[in-house]
Structure 1
Amino acid sequence: MKFLLSLFLLILIIAAALVAMPSPIDSVAVSVSRPLPFAGALTVNDALQSTQLIALPEGKRGGEDVARDQLGCLYTGTLDGSIMRKCAYSGWETLVNTGGRPLGLHFDAQQNLIIADAEKGLLSMSPQGNLRVLADQFKGKHLGVVDDVDIGADGTIYFSDASNRYPLSDIVLDVLDGRPSGRLFALNPADNSLTLLADELAFANGVAVSADQSYVLINETFTYRISKVWLSGPKAGEKEVLLDKLPGMPDGIARAANGTYWVAMYGLRPKIVDQFHDQPWVKNLLAKLPKEIAPVPKPYGLILQIDENGMILQSLHDQAAVAIGEVTSVQPEDNGLYLGTLHMGVIGKLAY
């Protein structure tokens, strides 16, 4: 009985301390969309369980994105900052280390690997392995979390800055905060000038330029939607929603040769966040919890194929993340879909 009483008092003391301590955020109420049902093209399946897994070297994890060069060699960036390459008849090799966290990858016409690095900014790695910074500031302020990148037909580099309020290590605070601060930029490679295309995006993530170059798609992870930013035509400069009410968190996006888009879904919606998004005081309390005990959604594997009008054509699932989960990128190539993940020690390949 004394033990139970002592335990109860300890819980009360901890709860009182939690309430009394200042919160790292001052959140705002957010209205959450109602998710699309798992029906039709979203019907649950386990098609992703047929993913072929390509192991990273021992100790390497988090191949967030996958790029393929003209020779068919695969490239990825890992949690420790390494840029790695694997060719058909050789193992993985580390080419450089950015000193940050490489996320999105894309080759330009000169076979420079353009790297969206969450800590170091937008980088370029030459075919000889030389690194240089293309952009790490905008109007005198350091970029926040440079996340994904795509390149237009004219060489313009489009990239996302997921949040300029919180670093990648505190990204849970960004979703609880509720104030979207993500941005979409265009970089002119001729003079390295930056143009802000859109701001106030809810964790600006995956980037994909349309086939006709008239717009850029940008995933807004924390509002479960894909937005379209017009580059030309009568709507130039405007942003509109292409696909809303997704059942999970969209991460990377890439255009396939047939003009459709593949979308990586990092996971299903975090129910606890959706439940309390309209109650700032609860979110302020949640933000005080140590990262080690913060609720984490179970891994779930999910990718979508959508058309240019935002219609979902098909969805591929791995409900228990048996083969792959927490998918962060889908790169369509002529020999299959390559899948990246945030934490796993593998990248995936799925036949069309």
Structure 2
Amino acid sequence: YSDLWDFIGDDTIFGASVPVWSALIIAIIAHIALTRSRIGWHILAVGGSRRSAHNAGIQVRKMVFLTYVFSGFTAGLAGFLFATRLSGAGIGTGHGLEILALTAAVVGGNSLGGGRGSIVKGLMGAIIVLVMTNGLIRLGYGTGTNQMVLGILLAVAVTIDIRWLKNRHKVLNEMYVAPVYLNMVDAPSAEAGSGTKYELNSKLSQARSIGLGEVEGPEDVILDRNDNLYCGTRHGEVVRFFAPDYTEWEVFAHVGGFPLGLAFDKDDNLISCVGAMGLYSITPDRKVTRLTAETRRSLTSIVDDAVLRDPNDLDIAPDGKIYFTDSTKRYDAHDWTLDSIENRGTGRLLVYNPEDGSTKTLLDGYHYTNGVTIAHDKKSLLFCETWTCRIHRYWLEGPKKGKAEILIDDLPGYPDNINRASDGTYWMAWLGMRTPSFDLSLRHPDFRKRMTRRLPQDEWLFANVNNGGVVKFDDSGNILMTLGDLEGKSHPSVTSMREHKGQLFIGGILNNRIGVFDIEGADKTWTAPVDYWGEK
């Protein structure tokens, strides 16, 4: 054998053998790659769900191939290092070590279900197995006893892992929700006959239906220059209804996830916030491209908050920058209602710059940031804070540039999307209405904590999203008009509305239709694409 062979097998560096140093170096490199690189995130995503990874645009076969290549490389390296320690190799060298490796991985806490694991857990498991086997040898037990104990340990670890995979969502939901104190501002009543500025009516019950029973969850709606109507669905599709009667429709593009907020840019590309996936662009010829799925990690955050978990709504400034909201950093899009119970300020406002592909967090710490629209004067934008029932203004220009201020703070309902109106004002959707019982619970976080620990989820007290409406307001925050459906037959919950040529198109994340309401006295020539980008 060569001197290098003897050095690797017998010599030490700073008191530790060469194989130990090799293992540490590889572990550090693998840990950084798995937790801080795109390829590592892709590997974890493929391990968790190949179908979901494919829908997110990940090259699944490539990731699987690279994983097997790296596994083969590390297995070969381990065999080489083991042979140097034994000063030779034979047909039985390393026999049974695969059981040790598997036991170490499972005992350390790496899931057999895939998608969850780490190098640190593997090292911890290896240390546990090493200490246990060496301890048994020093106590005088033979190889058979060692293998039996390892088998029992592996069986117990696998059983716990399977049980955990089966029940972890229930356990995590109960333990993860951590409510905080929130004192809501008193708001005027919106009940019929109350006589307040927010008094609702049943005008939305007169709205005509588009796509009744043909679409599920049109959270946002938008119209193009040719009067065609678009909406997202819970099936991960963007659907297009053809003008003028909107009776015929097609799947315009399959994006995956849940397309939420929609906006057209100056080149007629449809930009969408896709729940749990990021910000996407769909060209007129239906090419789907992901623009961004992450932002810069917060310097003070222990948990990595760079990934966009619930991108919700967006609007595009004249310079092409895309301003959008990420409603919560703690819950994925399908668990958005849980954020109402916890009510921590983890929502944020972000901007994507298409010139350099960068994403920047502008504001953080809001209670479920939601709808956003560029103001008519283009010097500021308006965005909603759903769970605190507020509308904020963020300044893009002027002496207040980069600062936010409250425009409306006494809403009796939960605001969702905001869009421009033809007369220089704004439309705002009400997802649902506040209730005294839920407002009271927000002042008692211990009550909500006990509720999530002791009651099944279908008996929890959630924010009311079963009835809502539409509100019209001006730049000063004055309420000008309200629209509702008091009986809740057609549009009990409204998440979006778009004015187009004298009509208001209405969407709802919990609805199975799009509504069309005729606006009295509205400009029948006004369209949002022309208002934003001019004639073509």
TM superposition score normalised by structure 1? 0.89
Alignment partner of 1:96 out of 253, 263, 282: 253
Moved more, 41-50 or 127-136: 41-50
User: What corresponds to 1:144 in structure 2?
Assistant: 309
User: What corresponds to 1:192 in structure 2?
Assistant: 357
- Is the counterpart of residue 34 in structure 1 residue 153 in structure 2? no
Q: Secondary structure at the match of 2:175?
A: coil
Cα pair distance change 1:126/1:290, threshold 3 Å = farther
Alignment partner of 1:341 out of 478, 501, 508: 508
Counterpart contact for 1:23–1:285, Cα < 8 Å:
no
Residue identity matched to 1:54: I
Instruction: State how far apart, in whole Å, the 1-side matches of 2:283 and 2:467 are.
Output: 36
Alignment partner of 2:342 out of 174, 177, 190: 177
The structural deviation recorded for 1:23 is 3.2
The structural deviation recorded for 1:320 is 1.9
User: Aligned runs of 1:72-91 on 2, under 5 Å?
Assistant: 72-88=227-243, 91=248
User: What corresponds to 1:9 in structure 2?
Assistant: none
Cα pair distance change 1:22/1:164, threshold 3 Å = closer
Q: Secondary structure at the match of 1:36?
A: coil
Higher relative CO (Cα under 8 Å, sequence separation at least 6) belongs to: 1
Instruction: State how far apart, in whole Å, the 1-side matches of 2:174 and 2:241 are.
Output: 48
User: What corresponds to 1:55 in structure 2?
Assistant: 211
Counterpart contact for 2:296–2:360, Cα < 8 Å:
no
Q: Secondary structure at the match of 1:67?
A: strand
The structural deviation recorded for 1:80 is 1.1
Residue identity matched to 2:217: G
Instruction: State how far apart, in whole Å, the 1-side matches of 2:381 and 2:451 are.
Output: 35
User: Aligned runs of 1:131-280 on 2, under 5 Å?
Assistant: 131-139=288-296, 141-280=306-445
Q: Secondary structure at the match of 2:416?
A: strand
Instruction: State how far apart, in whole Å, the 2-side matches of 1:340 and 1:238 are.
Output: 31
Instruction: State how far apart, in whole Å, the 1-side matches of 2:293 and 2:212 are.
Output: 29
Counterpart contact for 1:301–1:320, Cα < 8 Å:
no
- Is the counterpart of residue 292 in structure 1 residue 458 in structure 2? yes
Instruction: State how far apart, in whole Å, the 1-side matches of 2:461 and 2:196 are.
Output: 30
The structural deviation recorded for 1:169 is 2.3
Instruction: State how far apart, in whole Å, the 1-side matches of 2:465 and 2:505 are.
Output: 22
Counterpart contact for 2:503–2:518, Cα < 8 Å:
yes
The structure richer in strand per residue is: 1
Instruction: State how far apart, in whole Å, the 1-side matches of 2:510 and 2:231 are.
Output: 13
Instruction: State how far apart, in whole Å, the 2-side matches of 1:177 and 1:44 are.
Output: 29
- Is the counterpart of residue 122 in structure 1 residue 287 in structure 2? no
Cα pair distance change 1:273/1:23, threshold 3 Å = farther
Instruction: State how far apart, in whole Å, the 2-side matches of 1:286 and 1:232 are.
Output: 45
Moved more, 37-46 or 120-129: 37-46
Instruction: State how far apart, in whole Å, the 1-side matches of 2:468 and 2:445 are.
Output: 30
The CA deviation string for residues 67-86 of structure 1, in whole angstroms up to 9 with x for no partner, is 11111110000011111001
Instruction: State how far apart, in whole Å, the 2-side matches of 1:56 and 1:87 are.
Output: 15
Instruction: State how far apart, in whole Å, the 2-side matches of 1:180 and 1:88 are.
Output: 42
Alignment partner of 1:70 out of 188, 204, 225: 225
Moved more, 89-98 or 70-79: 89-98
Counterpart contact for 2:350–2:363, Cα < 8 Å:
yes
Runs of 5+ unmatched residues, structure 2? 1-169, 298-305, 520-536
Residue identity matched to 2:450: L
The structural deviation recorded for 1:96 is 1.9
User: What corresponds to 1:332 in structure 2?
Assistant: 499
Q: Secondary structure at the match of 2:495?
A: strand
The structural deviation recorded for 1:22 is 5.4
Alignment partner of 1:106 out of 263, 287, 291: 263
Identity %: 34
Structure exhibiting the larger radius of gyration computed from Cα positions: 2
User: What corresponds to 2:157 in structure 1?
Assistant: none
Residue identity matched to 2:472: Q
Counterpart contact for 1:83–1:94, Cα < 8 Å:
yes
Counterpart contact for 1:63–1:340, Cα < 8 Å:
yes
The structural deviation recorded for 1:170 is 2.1
The structure richer in helix per residue is: 2
Instruction: State how far apart, in whole Å, the 2-side matches of 1:260 and 1:165 are.
Output: 34
Residue identity matched to 2:389: Y
